[in-house]
Chain A
Amino acid sequence: MSKSSIMPGFRPALVFTLIYLSLIVLIPLSTLVFKSFELNWDDYVRIITNKRVLSSFQVSFSSALMAAVIASVFGFITAWVLVRYSFLGKRFFHAIIDFPFALPTAVAGIVLATIFQPSGFLGKILKEAFDVQVAFKPLGIVVALIFISIPFVVRTVEPVLLEFESAMEEAGASLGATRLQVFSKIIFPNVFPALLTGFALAFARGVGEYGSVIFIAGNIPYVSEIVPLLIVTKLEQFDVEGATAIALTMLVISFVLLLLINVLQYWVRKRSGQL
């Protein structure tokens, strides 16, 4: 293995990557882990099994999951429309997709809270027509997270749809497949791995989101309080141990979930011959 490979610069590139990863990611995260060693196991369990903490975990992960699923469906449709059809203002919509990336999330949260509150523009209609309240309820968290995470799905699915060889569709049709069969058996399986990536990104973003959520969630303990908010609350009360314990748990759960999604993705790609 001493022969130099075709791609030059392996060593400097690796060194740079490791330094970068260490400074920005590994050292901060390991500090978190070491900090939590100051706690003994019983304290840790006591903090984590606190009912308020458990509810916040449930709120955070369930709303992130729901938002990621919905964002995946709508993100896919949006990407499909942007790739497949040409219509007036297409470029404009194309640009607008990236808005949630750039907008300060707090602004998004405030705007969403304003229009979805019971006296707001959309909130009023929903309240009167369906007796549904969005703002200051767990549902509000889902709405904010969908807003934040949709561009992740659109931007991962779009290039795959763009690259998709239309002759494959024509081949399917020439073999007697209906349009629905062409979509479900040919197009969708080819796009699915990318959609899964988009889903994972959307989910990860949703779990970590803070700024937009706190303005629309109402932050009622046991009901609509998210984990990041709880960590901040603990810190404000100088309860560093508590904050650390929650943060570490969050880190582990997120890691395991992302790992699972990656395994699923590996399996999907393997099955469809992309590996």
Chain B
Amino acid sequence: MSILLSDISKNFGAFAALNHINLEVPEGELVALLGPSGCGKTTLLRIIAGLEHADKGRVIINGEDKTDQNVSERGIGFVFQHYALFRHMTVFENVAFGLRVKPRRERPTDYILSQKVHALLELVQLDFLHDRFPDQLSGGQRQRIALARALAVEPSVLLLDEPFGALDASVRKDLRQWLRNLHHELNVTSIFVTHDQEEAMEVASQVVVLNHGHIEQLGSPSDIYDRPANAFVSRFIGQTNIFDLEEHDADWLQTAGILNPHQEAKVAHVRPHDIIIEKSTRGHTAPATLKDWQHLGALIRLELVKNSSNGSTAPVFAEMPNDQFKQLALNKGDKVDLKIRQAHWFH
């Protein structure tokens, strides 16, 4: 089911949490709301769910105006950051809850209910835990139970608030993969909130970048990465080197080969992998010196110091594949030539 948000605003006292948000999520998408903490992403999710009410604007789910409906009538599934499982109920009863509270006419018989709950528990691969209590489960298991519980009522949209935020790194990686596969299988329109750009890029089909209560950019992960709409998005997504022309980096950029004479924008953002490094034979006139490097698995990150005396002294980071780095046979303190393949320019 599609979700349409029109002109949503929300203030907490004098603080404007959301400012005229317009967003359309087509049916079947898996969308990430991405942004730094305090950007309003969780508030937006809670407004879609009906756990919070917007001061202004409408929430339309599948063509139906849900703005004035209570959370219990919206037919959404919500997954909380800290799971919010019912501590006094077994795993089975947790998942069954949404079915048991249905009005009598719609309530399934015990047999159908039990079948449905077990099917959901199998979907999250935890049926063997059905008679345990939440306190006896690990974080990853709890989150999967929370998801099964939300899916039990066959929600038209699934909303997840930092679903992996409280988990450790390895469990997190597995669950991301798993969530994407699950979404592929169920195809229910889903929105999840995260502050982790890697998570957003890995899981989502569309990413919404939020900052200070408004949308900075909306697009596919590759759009956001390759064509950032502004300096904030460019800085927030992935690693970026920032060169400011007003801080006398012009000469240096000229040497690096990306400055054209008709350049209007003042600030260049360069991805580390867009910097090509070669050993220099120029001695002291070489543009940079290799200070240090770090292994990032398949990639090597090189930390370079600019040699120009009048520029800013911030280090420049470049990345290249491991074997390429071995071929260059560089040592700490070596002078290097560098070429910048492309830059994003912002005012």
Contact = CB atoms under 8 A, between A and B. Distances in A.
Contacts of A171: 78, 80, 84-86, 146, 149
A189 B146 CA distance: 19
Contacts of A173: 51, 70-72
Interface stretch (B87-95, B254-262, B318-326, B327-335): B87-95
A218 interface: no
A30 interface: no
A147 B133 CA distance: 39
Q: How large is the interface on A (under 10, 10 to 19, 20 to 34, 35 or more residues)?
A: 20 to 34
A65 B82 CA distance: 41
Interface string B152-190: 110000000000000000000000000000000000000
Contacts of B50: 174
A272 B84 contact: no
B101 interface: yes
B88 A189 contact: yes
A190 B88 contact: yes
Interface residues of B, number: 34
8 tightest A-B CB contacts, nearest first: A273-B133, A272-B88, A167-B84, A175-B98, A174-B78, A177-B101, A171-B84, A189-B88
A177 B133 CA distance: 21
Contacts of B152: 175
A167 B162 CA distance: 14
Given A170-B71, A171-B146, 6 more contacts: A167-B82, A170-B84, A173-B70, A175-B72, A175-B149, A177-B97
A262 interface: no
A185 interface: yes
A168 B86 contact: yes
A162 to B, nearest CB: 16
Contacts of B150: 174-175
A181 interface: yes
A36 B146 CA distance: 60
Interface string B200-229: 000000000000000000000000000000
Given A175-B98, A175-B149, A177-B97, A168 B78 contact: no
Interface of B: 49-51, 70-73, 75-78, 80, 82, 84-90, 97-98, 100-102, 133-136, 146, 149-150, 152-153
Interface in A153-184: 165, 167-168, 170-178, 181
User: Chain A's interface: helix, strand, loop or mixed, by majority?
Assistant: helix
B239 to A, nearest CB: 35
Interface of A: 165, 167-168, 170-178, 181, 185-186, 189-190, 272-274
24 contacts: A168-B84, A168-B86, A170-B84, A171-B84, A172-B86, A172-B97, A172-B101, A173-B70, A173-B71, A173-B72, A174-B51, A174-B72, A175-B72, A175-B97, A175-B149, A175-B150, A176-B73, A176-B101, A176-B102, A177-B97, A273-B88, A273-B89, A273-B90, A273-B135
A248 B101 CA distance: 50
A171 B46 CA distance: 12
A237 B333 CA distance: 105
B68 to A, nearest CB: 15
A181 B101 CA distance: 7
Given A190-B87, A273-B89, A274-B88, A177 B72 contact: yes
A273 B87 contact: yes
Contacts of A272: 87-89
A103 B269 CA distance: 73
